[in-house]
Amino acid sequence: MSDIKKVVLAYSGGLDTSVIVRWLQETYQCEVVTFTADIGQGEEVEPARAKAQAMGVKEIYIEDLREEFVRDFVYPMFRANTVYEGEYLLGTSIARPLIAKRLIEIANETGADAISHGATGKGNDQVRFELGAYALKPGVKVIAPWREWDLNSREKLMAYCEDHNIPVDFAKNKKKSPYSMDANLLHISYEGNRLEDPWTEAEEDMWRWSVSPETAPDTPTYITLGYEKGDIVSIDGKAISPAEVLTYLNKVAGDNGIGRLDLVENRYVGMKSRGCYETPGGTVMLRAHRAIESLTLDRESAHLKDSLMPKYAELVYNGYWWSPERLALQKLIDTTQEHVNGEVRVKLYKGNVIVAGRRSESDSLFDASVATFEDDAGAYNQKDAEGFIRLNALRLRIAAKKGRKMQ
């Protein structure tokens, strides 16, 4: 007899997690609580309620977390200009700590003994979910069916459904993408199938949020993003919520062929993985944020942030959102954003995000009287540069006098 009486499952309503509901009920003889989060995946989440009810689930949580997702997770990450391995904008990674947080909160609310998820034993998500869970509830029991059962193919999952009276009409009749996909307001990812050959180009009809740059409009689209403390708070002068920002940017950037990415990344579990990503809004956000920082951030603050960003990105990718080191880095990053206020005008054109202008009436560090190529009326004494250069060259001159080779 299992000592697990109640489990909270991260439940999508799809084939895998529907099988997990019944598997948990029969393997652990326990009650299952389902949690379905709307984080902007673009699919209706309410049907998950009927599917869960059909399998005898009595406690069903379906929540709209889109604003919390962008406000408390995406925005803080973009304040750091976060990019993993020079390319990946961490669309899947950043959603996992929010889901882990709600799994633990619901477990506490319902008195559950354990949580469960449908991540496989090969990927990063199992690590992200579980690191987050243990950080927030150290003694929690985590059940990861993919590491326990032998249902390692779609055919076996379907056979299990037939043998255990699991309603799967939705799985049989719905046209299924050949790719393993994950979607939220920040991105869509595609893995598997033909993408497992890194030499094979992705099919054009795979992409869902963006047109190809070749077929994008011949006329550019201009938008103006308003910033307060490093976060976008308005578009074209209109105040807008975090989730609305990303929804709008995904649409307008996708329509201009922006946001496609094809990469081979290093998973935390050790293997290399080829994946394709669509991040239209995030691509605009990254470019525009760097533009407003270029105007308002002190040089050394900006360079310090750039030097720390790869570590911050690694922490997010590997699942350490709730770690003390990520929290410490976040405080430093947020401190630098105090004066990152103003506007950035970007031009979106055939896959490109082009900065067309930036301004900050209160916080710009750009001083035209000093930087001008015209007469600066004594604002900058060019003779000062001579001593500056000689002092900085001192160590080089001493080494050269000692005969040390410099080439």
Amino acid letter, 139? G
Q: Is residue 58 part of a domain?
A: yes
Sequence-distant (≥ 6) Cβ neighbours of residue 115 within 8 angstroms: 7, 8, 9, 10, 103, 104, 107, 133, 140, 141, 142, 143
Which segments of 174-298 does DSSP mark as H helices, in order? 242-255, 280-296
d(CA 198, CA 321): 30
Say whether both 23 and 137 belong to one domain.
yes
Looking at the structure, tell me whether residues 131 and 276 fall in a common domain. Answer: no
Do 282 and 259 form a contact (C-beta atoms < 8 A)?
Answer: yes
In a shared domain, residues 241 and 353: yes
- Asked if 149 and 278 sit in the same domain, the reply is no
Q: Is residue 393 part of a domain?
A: yes
Q: Which of 117, 143, 176 is a domain's end point?
A: 176
Whether residues 154 and 221 fall in one domain: no
Query: HSE of 199 in the Cβ direction (CA atoms, 13 Å)?
Result: 0
pLDDT in the model for residue 176: 64
Same domain, 228 and 146: no
CATH classification of the domain holding 257: 3.90.1260.10
Q: What is the pLDDT of residue 276?
A: 97
On whether both 255 and 351 belong to a single domain, the answer is yes
Q: Is 313 part of a structural domain of the chain?
A: no
User: To which H or E segment does residue 63 belong?
Assistant: strand 59-64
- Which residue pairs from 162-169 have beta carbons closer than 8 angstroms and sit at least 24 positions apart in sequence? 164/22, 164/26, 166/18, 166/19, 166/21, 166/22, 166/55, 167/18, 167/51, 167/54, 167/55, 168/15, 168/18
Torsion region of 326: left, alpha or beta (phi above 0 gives left; psi -120 to 50 gives alpha):
alpha
Residue 169 is predicted with a pLDDT of: 57
pLDDT at residue 179, rounded to an integer? 87
- Cα distances (angstroms) measured from residue 19 to each of 11, 33, 201, 330: 10, 14, 33, 39
Q: What pTM was estimated for this model as a whole?
A: 0.94
Fill in the DSSP letter of residue 144. Answer: -
Residue 244 sits in the same domain as residue 261 = yes
* Residuewise pLDDT in 10s, the chain (407 residues): 578 999 999 999 888 999 999 999 999 999 999 999 999 998 889 889 999 999 999 999 999 999 999 999 999 999 999 999 999 999 999 999 999 999 999 999 999 999 999 999 998 999 999 999 999 999 999 999 999 999 988 789 899 998 988 876 544 445 567 888 999 999 999 999 999 999 999 999 999 999 999 999 999 999 999 999 999 999 999 999 999 999 999 999 999 999 999 999 999 999 999 999 999 999 999 999 999 999 999 999 999 999 999 999 999 999 999 999 999 999 999 999 999 999 999 999 999 999 999 999 999 999 999 999 999 999 999 999 999 999 999 999 999 999 998 88
Would you state the pLDDT for residue 43? 85
Domain boundary pick from 136, 155, 176: 176
Residue 366 domain flag: no
Which residues are the active-site residues? Answer: 16, 96, 125, 180
What pLDDT does residue 168 have?
66
Indicate if 220 and 348 belong to the same structural domain.
yes
Q: How buried is residue 214: exposed, middle or buried, by Cβ count under 10 Å (0-12/13-18/19+)? A: exposed
For residues 147 and 121, is the Cβ–Cβ distance under 8 A? yes
Provide the domain limits for residue 346. Answer: 182-297+340-359
What tokens were used for 76? 């803080």
At 158, list the tokens.
């379907």
**Within a domain: residue 307?**
no
Number of domains in the chain: 3
We report the CATH number of the domain holding residue 130 as 3.40.50.620
